[in-house]
Amino acid sequence: MNSIEIVSKAAEKKDLTHAYLAPVRAGTSLKSYATELGKEILCSPGDETCSEKVIRDTHPDFVMVDVLNDKTKISISQVEEIISSSSYSPIEGERKLYVINRVEDLSREGANSLLKILEDPPEFVYFLLLTESPNSLLPTIISRCQQLPTGGTSIEGMKDLLYGKGFEEKEVDYLVRVVNYRATLLDDLLEDGTDGALEEKEKLEKEYEEASLIDLSEGLIDSDNYIEKDVLARLIFSRVEASSNRQLIESAEKLTKLNQEDLELFLEKGLNVYRNDYRAELAEGSFTPGSLGRVRIIDRAIESLPANVNVQLLLESTLLKLSVTPRV
């Protein structure tokens, strides 16, 4: 069973442990994952009002603790505030949940202070300690928690988060696609502002409709907006076949100016485009080797990227191979 199922079944049986240690995979949005587990601890099955409050971080008994903006550690004063407030009964429901994101960021004093309440918490108080490096934690903290399997925010969890923020189904599907199904980028996307995302997408598609492959590549380099990056990357991959070798090489040269993260996102975007083509063909019973070939070309490029010292050569090779591997 995964972490969500374990906590859900324990809640159903009224057999929750007062402190859970939840290791997460790198790249997981801790806040999104915390809401998935938090809903199971605080909300009764089918209680949509409670679930929405947890998702929106407006539930009075759902308290998330992070490193403060101007600090590098979760301080002892933050832990002392938890201990003080934990003596008060829940405002709604039967439980109060404290989530500590990246518990490895606790100061030594904070960690020692936390041990006291983990050992003997009030009956209605529960803790969820999220960590990307469980091996770095004090053994005394680990021993006071039930350790869950390593997990991460699922696509469904991302969608639930967006639904909880009032987005419609088409917007949700699009926004999850914009961040390449990476939960860790969803928080950044929401901070950018996503009102009218589909309208913005259509506007950008019209704006770049006549742009050349080289102009699209330049636009991608200059963009700091996730929706614009999505539109530009998809247009680039859609035009590879119709572009000359000169255009492909010049485009690859420009794309080398992307930083490592944006370059990975760009290649991932292509991988998702071609995977969707491949899956659609399979569903329709019209499979062609070309679509699978494109998936493999991009997949190899992504695998090579971390160790490849000549990024321009890698991009040139990838775009040129894609140009002679038709979708159909």
pLDDT tens, residue by residue, 172-204: 999 989 988 877 678 778 877 777 899 999 999
Domains: count for the chain? 2
How far apart are alpha carbons 304 and 58 in whole angstroms? Answer: 43
Assess if residue 69 is contained within a domain: yes
pLDDT tens-digit profile of 128-185? 999 988 888 989 999 999 999 988 766 777 887 788 788 899 999 999 899 888 776 7
Enter the pTM of the model.
Answer: 0.61
Beta carbons of 126 and 98 less than 8 angstroms apart = yes
Q: Which long-range contacts (CB under 8 A, 24 or more apart) does 8-11 make?
A: 8/40, 11/40, 11/41
Residue 326: the pLDDT is 60
Structure tokens, 189: 């996307």
Residues 132 and 234 in one domain: no
CATH value at residue 105: 3.40.50.300
For residues 223 and 97, membership in a common domain is answered with: no
Residues 36 and 109 in one domain: yes
Q: Of 18-22, 192-196, 297-301, which has the strongest mean pLDDT?
A: 18-22
Q: Examine the domain organization and report whether 137 and 203 are in the same domain.
A: no
Query: Are residues 88 and 205 located together in one domain of the fold?
Result: no
Residues 280 and 227 both lie in one domain: yes
Both 136 and 210 in one domain: the answer is no
Asked if 217 and 236 touch (Cβ cutoff 8 Å), the reply is: yes
Q: Is residue 184 part of a domain?
A: no
- Look at residue 135 and tell me if it is in a domain: yes
Give me the mean pLDDT over the 98-105 stretch. 92
**Residue % of the chain over a pLDDT of 70:** 95
Q: Which of 136, 153, 170 is the last residue of a domain?
A: 153
23 φ, ψ to 5°? -70, 140
Within a domain: residue 149?
yes
Asked, for residue 203, whether it belongs to a domain, the answer is yes
Note whether residue 229 is domain-resident. Answer: yes
**Full domain range(s) for residue 41:** 3-153
10 and 70 share a domain?
yes
One domain, residues 26 and 144: yes
**Across residues 23-31, what is the average pLDDT?**
77
Q: Does residue 158 fall inside a structural domain?
A: no
Cβ pair 114, 85 in contact under 8 A: no
Residue 50 lies in a domain: yes
